[in-house]
Structure 1
Amino acid sequence: MESLHHDSDKRALRRFLRHQRQALSQHEQRLAANHLCQHLKTLPEIHRARRVSLYLPINGEIDPMPLLPWLRKRKVEVYLPVLRPFSMNTLWFVTYRPDTPMVKNRFGIWEPDLRFSAQRQNRLPAWALDTLIVPLVGFDANANRMGMGGGFYDRSLAFMHHPGPKPSLIGVAHACQQVVSLPVEPWDVPLQAVVSDQGCVRR
C-alpha cells in the first residue's frame, strides 16, 4: 500500500514541476538557458571533457544548447541521446555535427535519424563519454534527480552502479524545479551535480 501511495505522490509532484517549467515565458526560458550555460562553463567536469552529451529540450525543459558553440570552439565532440530501436527504454549516444540528419522521434523530440545512428562509427557507448548533461523533472539540494518517469537514463546508465569507467553526470533544470527532498530509489543513477539558472548543487 505504501508504494502505491508513494507512486501517486510522485506522479502528482512530476505534474506540478512540469507545470512550473512550462509556465515560463519564451523570454524567461532564453534567459534561464543563458544563465545555465554560464554556470556550466565553470564546472571542472565540463572543462576537462572531450566528449559531451547534450539534449534537445521539450515541454519547457531548460535548454543546454547555447553551450554548443563554446564546446565546438574547444574541439569537444558533442553527442545526443537517441531512442534505441527494438529495446526497452534505452538510449544510444550519437554524434551531433552540423551535417547530422535529424528526425522527430515518437515523443516529438528531434534526434539524429536511425540510419545515421545505426552506423556504429556514429555513436559511442555511454561509458566512453566524459560528461553527460541530463534533463530532469525535479531535484533537491543533495543533487538527487527525479526523471521523466520512463527510466531511459537510469536503464542506459545502469553500468554506473558497477566498477569500470564512468562519465560525470550533470543534471540541469530551472531553479523552480528544486524541491526540499526527493525519495531515492535503488535503481536511481547518482548525479555529481545539478546546475540550474541560479547556481549549482553537489551530491
Structure 2
Amino acid sequence: MNIRQLIRQKRRQLSPTERDIAQQTIYQKIAHHQAIKTANNIAIFLSFDGEVETKPIIEYLWEQNKSVYLPIINPLEPKDLLFLQYTKQTSLIKNKFGILEPELNQSKILPYHQLDIVFTPLVAFDQRGYRMGMGGGFYDRLLANYQAQQILPIGLAFACQKVQHIDNKPWDIRLPEIIYA
C-alpha cells in the first residue's frame, strides 16, 4: 500500500469522537487566526473522502462576512482550477472526481490573484510543510507563485496525516502553514 492510500485509510478510520475533537480544535485555531480575521476573499474546498469537515468553517466565514469561493475544474483548461463565489443559494454539481462544486457561472468567478487565503486540501504532509495531494497537481500549479500574489495558502488536516518526510519534487509547493489537530 502506498503512502497516499495508507494515509487516506488512516483518515477514514478516525472514530467519530476522534474526528469531532480534532475538528473542534481546528475550528478554534481558525477562529483565532489573525490572517483569517483580516481576509476578505477566502477559497476553501468541500470535504471529500474523510477530509476535515469544511461546512462549519464555511458557515463561520459567512458569519464573519467573508466572501467564500470554491474551486471548480476549468472546462477550458482541465488541469487548472477556477474559483466561484459560494453562497447559501449556490447550486452544486458533482465533478468528474465525484466532488461537489458550483455550476460554472462566469459572473461568479474571482480571479485567483484576488484571493487572500486558499485553504488547501491534502492527503499527507510533513514538518517542512510539503503536502501530498490526490495526485492531480491542481494545487501545486495554482500555488506556484502564491508569494508574488500575496496569497496565504493554509493546509487543513488531521494529525494522523502527518508523515516523517514527503519525497517532494521541484514543482511541489511548500505550504507556509498547516492547521491540524
Shared topology, TM-score over 0.5?
A: yes
Report the AA paired with residue 52 of structure 2. I
CA displacement, residues 37-77 of structure 1 (integer Å, 9 cap, x when unaligned): 11122222212111111111111111122122221122110
1:191 to 169, 175, 180: 175
1:86 to 76, 80, 91: 76
Separation (CA, whole Å) in 2 of partners of 1:88 and 1:68: 26
The structural deviation recorded for 1:196 is 0.8
Where does residue 151 of structure 1 map in the other structure?
137
The structural deviation recorded for 1:191 is 1.2
Answer yes or no: is 1:128 the counterpart of 2:118: no
Identity rate of aligned residues, in percent?
Answer: 36
1:17 to 7, 10, 15: 7
Where does residue 57 of structure 2 map in the other structure?
67
Where does residue 39 of structure 1 map in the other structure?
29
Long gaps (5+) in structure 2:
none
Q: Secondary structure at the match of 1:148?
A: coil
Separation (CA, whole Å) in 1 of partners of 2:130 and 2:35: 18
RMSD, matched Cα: 1.7
Q: Secondary structure at the match of 2:69?
A: strand
Where does residue 103 of structure 2 map in the other structure?
113
Where does residue 4 of structure 1 map in the other structure?
none
Higher Cα radius of gyration? 1
CA displacement, residues 9-43 of structure 1 (integer Å, 9 cap, x when unaligned): xx811111111101123443343322211112222
Where does residue 76 of structure 1 map in the other structure?
66
Separation (CA, whole Å) in 1 of partners of 2:96 and 2:15: 25
Q: Is the 8 A contact 2:84 2:102 kept in 1?
A: yes
Separation (CA, whole Å) in 2 of partners of 1:72 and 1:169: 19
Report the AA paired with residue 178 of structure 1. K
Q: What is the aligned length?
A: 181
Report the AA paired with residue 138 of structure 2. F
Separation (CA, whole Å) in 1 of partners of 2:72 and 2:170: 25
Task: Give the TM-score of the pair, scaled to structure 2.
Answer: 0.92
